Every structure is written in structure tokens, then in C-alpha cells.
Amino acid sequence: MERTTQVIGQSGPFLDALERASRAAALDRPVLVIGERGTGKELVAERLHRLSPRWDQALIIMNCAALPETLIEAELFGHEAGAFTGATKARAGRFEEADGGTLFLDELGTLSMAAQERLLRAVEYGEVTRIGASHPIRVDVRIVAATNEHLPEKVERHQFRADLLDRLSFEVVTLPPLRARPGDVPVLAEHFGRRMAAEMNRDWHGFSPEALDSLIDYRWPGNVRELRNVIERAVYRWEQDGPIAHIEFDPFQSPHRPGASTQPAPMVDHVAAPPPPPGESEPGDFKSRVARFERDVLTKALAANRFNQRQTADALGLSYDQLRHALRRHDLLPG
């Protein structure tokens, strides 16, 4: 099935990684794509294929972590009929399917040592032997591999073959995590939000400034994949006119979730406003008094919950991102 590759971003580290991938695309050499989960390694692999001389041939994708170890070699190299229990007929492997094109091996670091040895021979000599066969088959395949692990460390622990790593790392493209490219967050959020609104036949009004600040402040451990889920969920749940003002980062957050604490939330009632600093008079206007009182409520609630922001949000009856907005407004966020 033909897929449309969309690579979105404008930050320097991200554009540098794309430029490196684009330059390597024209060379018929292996490329290793490194990055955390959700950073877009498969999109970069597609880019490498589409910009290569093999663009009109097959791009075969195999997730090495999605199959049990006993089946990986059969998937990669194929098998003859009767080669093992259940092999009722001969089957071509992914290398044969990718002949003339590109084979993308995702989660490369999960391959067993035996599979690595056979993969090394295929890369070095351009030959694969089906399980149960006695003669090799010539293949012309360009390898693009990806992992979220530091393979040199696995080599030191004797969990990955050094000679295979040498063969596959002609070029290494390291994708930056989303937290290292904060300028791309509003761009990606706008793209995913607008697309989701169109899917639901809704008008698109963007995000409120507070919601956008919360998106930029978040650390995004799941990177672009997590951002997409958060934005699409926010659009789906927002039922009011105007910009989206509420972002929920953790869909599992609930006082009723299994394993949640059954202890009553600490009370923060009857908090007296703090005295003004020495040399300052008590503010006379209503807005200043309310702001000082709110800041003191937040400070005391944080201390009562040992500065755990999620517990503090529950104690105050706020969502996590509402608490973060309040802490940001009063300059109480750590760091």
C-alpha cells in the first residue's frame, strides 16, 4: 500500500538530521537511524527510500521486536516446505521480497545473535539461504535499520556483533527527541489539531495561549507519537466554540483508577494570606490580594503533598495541566 510520508519540523537539530538522511539517500549503502520511541524513525527510513535510486522498487518493513525469536530467521530469509513444523509450503523471506529495493529493519537491537550472524552474511555477500534449503539466493537489497538502543554498549556487553554494527553504520542518523526541539511543538500541534478537526467536520480555532504554553512546557517522553495522541484527544473532547483551552496529557489520570490512593485528600481550607515582605505595605487592590492568597494556597498544598504535582492537583480539585498553569503563573515551577 502506498503511504504518504509527512516529515514536519523546523528546528535546527531536526533539520540537520533530515539533511544527513537526504545526503545518504543517494548512496547505495546501509544507514542506521537512531532515536527514542516516537521520534519518526520509520518516516526517515521512507524518506531514505523515496530519495534513493530505488524509489520505484519495494520498501519492505519488518519490526524485529514483533516476532518471536524462533520465527525471525524464517521471516527474514524464508523457508522451504517441510523445513519445520507448520511449514506446509515454501515461502520467500523479506530479503527476497525487497530484492531491488529497500529493507527497513526496525528494532534492530532485538535480533538474536544467530539471526545477526545470518544477517551479516546477507549484507556482506548479498546472499540469503532459506531455512531448509541447500543453495543460497542472490539478492540486491539496501538495508536501513533503526533502534532506540545504544548499540556500541550492546557490543561491549557481547549482545550485538561488532562486525555487523560496522557493516550497518556506514551512516548514522540520530533523531533528536521532541524536548530538544520545542519550537516544533506548536507547528506539530497545529498540524495534528487541524487534521483532526477536519476529520470530525469541525471548524478549527487553534489553542488558547495557556494550552499552548502547557504543550511547550511538557517533556514529551513519547515524542511526536505522544503529541499526536494528546492533540487528537484534545480536539475530540473539546465541545465548545473557540480555541482549545484544556489539554490532558495523561488519559489514565483519575482519582478512581485502580491502585489510586484511598487516603482523603489533604485539606487546604482556612489558609491565611502571608504577610507582606519587610518594607512592603499590604496590597490594597483586590486583584493583588487574590493573587497573593492563591500563591500561598499553592505553596502550602505543594508542601502538604511533598511537592508531588499530581497529588497536589487532586488535593485542590484541579487537573494536572490546570495546576501547571497556576504554578507557571505564580513562578512556582521548579527550574
* DSSP string computed for 184-252: HHHHHHHHHHHHHHHHTT-----B-HHHHHHHHHS--TTHHHHHHHHHHHHHHH--SSSSB----S-TT
Beta bridge partners of 100: none
280 found inside a domain = no
Beta bridge partners of 59: 102
Band of pLDDT at residue 237, cut at 50, 70 and 90: very high
Residue 139 confidence (pLDDT): 95
- All cell numbers assigned to 301: 498544598
Could you tell me what percent of the chain has a pLDDT over 90? Answer: 59
Band of pLDDT at residue 269, cut at 50, 70 and 90: very low
DSSP H/E element including 73:
helix 69-77
CB distance 47 to 25 below 8 Å: yes
Residues 98 and 208 in one domain: no
Q: Which residue among 131, 150, 176 closes a domain?
A: 176
Residue 171 confidence (pLDDT): 97
7 found inside a domain = no
CB distance 230 to 178 below 8 Å: no
3 found inside a domain = no
pLDDT: is 133 or 160 the higher one? Answer: 160
Residues 23 and 170 in one domain: yes
Per the prediction, the chain carries an average pLDDT of 87
Number of domains in the chain: 3
Residues 26 and 142 in one domain: yes
Residue 44 confidence (pLDDT): 96
Q: DSSP label at 142?
A: E
Band of pLDDT at residue 219, cut at 50, 70 and 90: very high
Distances (CA, A) of 331 to 268, 324, 325: 20, 10, 10
CB distance 92 to 98 below 8 Å: no
Res 225 pLDDT > 90: yes
Which are the contacts of 98, defined by CB distance < 8 A and separation ≥ 6? 58, 59, 60, 139, 141
CB distance 25 to 171 below 8 Å: no
Q: Which residue among 176, 197, 230 closes a domain?
A: 176
Residues 137 and 225 in one domain: no
Q: Which residue among 176, 197, 226 closes a domain?
A: 176
End-to-end CA gap in the chain? 47
pTM over 0.85? The answer is no
Band of pLDDT at residue 278, cut at 50, 70 and 90: low
Residues 239 and 102 in one domain: no
Res 281 pLDDT > 70: no
- Show the domain range for 229: 183-249
Residue 263 confidence (pLDDT): 55
115 found inside a domain = yes
Give the max Cα distance, the chain: 92
Tell me the range of 75-79, 84-88, 191-195, 278-282 where mean pLDDT is highest. 191-195
Phi and psi dihedrals of 334, rounded to 5?
-65, 145
318 found inside a domain = yes
CB distance 136 to 97 below 8 Å: no
Q: Which of 36-50, 82-96, 270-284 has the lowest mean pLDDT?
A: 270-284
Residues 152 and 245 in one domain: no
Distances (CA, A) of 220 to 38, 215, 228: 10, 9, 11
Band of pLDDT at residue 276, cut at 50, 70 and 90: low
Residues 210 and 69 in one domain: no
Q: Which of 42-46, 86-90, 216-220, 280-284 has the lowest mean pLDDT?
A: 280-284
254 found inside a domain = no
Q: Which of 80-89, 118-127, 268-277, 301-310 has the lowest mean pLDDT?
A: 268-277
Distances (CA, A) of 185 to 33, 214, 233, 327: 22, 11, 16, 21
Q: Residue 250, Cβ neighbours under 10 Å: how many?
A: 12
Please compute the mean of the pLDDT values over residues 185-195 and round it to a whole number.
Answer: 96
Res 268 pLDDT > 60: no
The CATH number for 199's domain is 1.10.8.60
Residues 25 and 81 in one domain: yes
CA nearest to 71, candidates 41, 49, 38, 93: 93
- All cell numbers assigned to 182: 520545542
Residues 164 and 70 in one domain: yes
Residues 228 and 123 in one domain: no
Res 108 pLDDT > 60: yes
Residue 235 confidence (pLDDT): 96
240 found inside a domain = yes
Residues 85 and 232 in one domain: no
26 found inside a domain = yes
Residues 28 and 135 in one domain: yes
The CATH number for 48's domain is 3.40.50.300
Q: Residue 190, Cβ neighbours under 10 Å: how many?
A: 16
